[in-house]
Amino acid sequence: MAVVTAWEGLVDRAQVGTGHKVLVHGGAGGIGHVAVQIARARGAEVFATASATDAALVRQFGATAIDYATTEVQEYVTAHTGGEGFDIVFDTVGGAVLDDSFAAVRTYTGHVLSALGWGSHSLAPLSFRGATYSGVFTLLPMLTGRGREHHGEILRQAAAMADAGLLKPLLDPRRYTLDTVAQAHAAVEDGSAHAKIVVDIEI
């Protein structure tokens, strides 16, 4: 799901490529760390917001880390784009971060993507910039049956990237089995899981 969401946003909607400056909000998260790697693999220069504790992880995936807790939007827009704004801004957090995305995108040609675009938001900052917005709802083909073949194609291309060492999923170091699956659920619920959880199933 994370791969398909990141791909649909960056590749299908924004056509990310060489020369683009991309900002990923939540660069250490499930969708975010995949988005960073896809954008990098396609030649973009990537920046990502993260906490101070996740900054090293974001850099490991190839992005310039921005501490969202200590840096205002206008500060990092000025520092990394000369005040012009990012070509592509991918919001994987939602809420006020989507509003920040509208303020961080490049005028006229910029494209804001969001996987969490629900809620009430003012479109004025985006409209004043003449930029574009796309909501990414990956579940739609699964719910309607339309477009599933494209999901298969995305996963084939993502698998080729993984084989080439260009895409690496972030996994929690702990491993679970069906006997300990309750512990896996607990790790997700209490927030101690730092990445995707792996449950090994013996057949």
- How far is it, in rounded angstroms, from Cα 197 to Cα 185? 9
Give CA separation, 85 vs 22, 59, 140, in Å.
10, 21, 31
Give pLDDT tens digits along the chain (203 positions).
999 999 999 999 999 999 999 999 999 999 999 999 999 999 999 999 999 999 999 999 999 999 999 999 999 999 999 999 999 999 999 999 999 999 999 999 999 999 988 889 999 999 999 999 999 998 888 888 888 999 999 999 999 999 999 999 999 999 999 999 999 999 999 988 878 899 999 88
Task: Locate 174 and state its tokens.
Answer: 């702990």
CATH of 2-140, one of 1.10.760.10, 3.40.50.720, 3.90.660.10, 3.40.1160.10: 3.40.50.720
pLDDT at 14: 97
Enumerate the domain spans of the chain. Answer: 2-140, 171-200
